[in-house]
Amino acid sequence: MKENENIKTVDARWKVGLIRANNGWILEYWEEIKDDEWRKIERVFEDRDEDDDEKASLIDALHEIVEYFGQGGSKHDAKRIDIRYTEK
């Protein structure tokens, strides 16, 4: 993917990383612990012992990303982000 030169990152703390591990996903992001003092957080979302466990752990990680950026909304919002997978 080519980076768009017109889009610049405002602050590195607003970046997240999602890495596939052999048994789940690792989410990396920054969290403010005091005024202007930040620490790197790594959260692990392990695959579950169920069918499509890779999808379930990925959905959990994606929900965390949406919440990190404050874009989750509530069930009462007319428009909100809804992450799920369905069976056909």
Q: What are phi and psi of 53, to 5 degrees?
A: -65, -30
Cβ neighbours, 10 Å, residue 58: 19
More confident residue, 25 or 72: 25
pTM, 2 dp? 0.74
**Mean pLDDT calculated for residue range 42-57:** 84
Burial degree of 27 (CB within 10 A; 0-12, 13-18, 19+): buried
Q: Where does residue 56 fall: left (phi above 0), alpha (psi -120 to 50 degrees), or beta otherwise?
A: alpha
Beta bridge mates, 7: none
**Mean pLDDT calculated for residue range 28-51:** 86
Q: Residues 56-81: pLDDT tens digits?
A: 899 999 999 998 888 888 888 888 88
CA proximity to 29, closest of 54, 12, 52: 12
